[in-house]
Structure 1
Amino acid sequence: MTDTSGSAGNPSEPAPDAGVEEIRADIEETRAALGETVAALTDKMDVKGRAEDKVHEKVADAKVAVARTKHVVTENARAYPAVPWVAAAVVAVLLGGVVVIRRRRR
């Protein structure tokens, strides 16, 4: 069984007989690792930023859906004369959804 309670078993620490340069290199590696950890924790703590990113993503998805629907409706309107009224209603509903999403964001 290996003793892991002491620092001698930690591979990130320099050996007891390490020189000054090895110790400085170890310190720099530790600082870099700590910086990455702090950055990761900071990103996780930014709930508002993450929520805003998700809202922007959903709004973009809604805009794409509206554009696709508009295109399909326009193409179908040429084949069916009554479709423009239905298309207008569908576009109005989709735009209303985008407005609701944007208002909830605020």
Structure 2
Amino acid sequence: MSQSQTPAEIEADIARQREELAGTVDELQTRVRETATRQAKIAGIAAAAGVVVLVGVAVYRRFTH
């Protein structure tokens, strides 16, 4: 942005920058949402695996004692 810009040019530049920033924010929100979804799925799988292990240990103890 140089000193010779007119007020209309400055406003147009600001509007362009706002659009670019809005696009960047949207992209970041999408990335965060995808990461959170992936982490939630992993946590669900880990919890299910933990339940399976606990049930397996309980069954093993029941039949070996």
TM-score range normalised by the length of the shorter chain: 0.5 to 0.7
Shift of 1:79: 1.6
- Indicate which of 58, 66, 87 corresponds to 2:36: 66
Counting matched residue pairs gives: 37
**Going by fraction, where is helix more abundant, 1 or 2?**
2
- Indicate which of 24, 32, 53 corresponds to 1:54: 24
Q: Which consecutive residues of structure 2, in runs of 5 or more, have no partner in the other structure?
A: 1-12, 52-65
Name segments (4+ residues, structure 1) moved above 6 Å.
Answer: none
Q: Distance in 1 between matches of 2:50 and 2:32?
A: 26
Q: TM-score, normalised by structure 1?
A: 0.33
SS of structure 1 residue aligned to 2:46: helix
Shift of 1:73: 0.5
Q: Give CA-to-partner distance per residue, 1:46-97, whole Å, 9 cap, x none.
A: 000000000000000000001100100000001225xxxxxxxxxxxxxxxx
Q: Which consecutive residues of structure 1, in runs of 5 or more, have no partner in the other structure?
A: 1-44, 82-106
Structure number with larger C-alpha Rg: 1
Higher relative contact order (CA 8 A, sep 6+): 1
Q: Percent identity?
A: 14
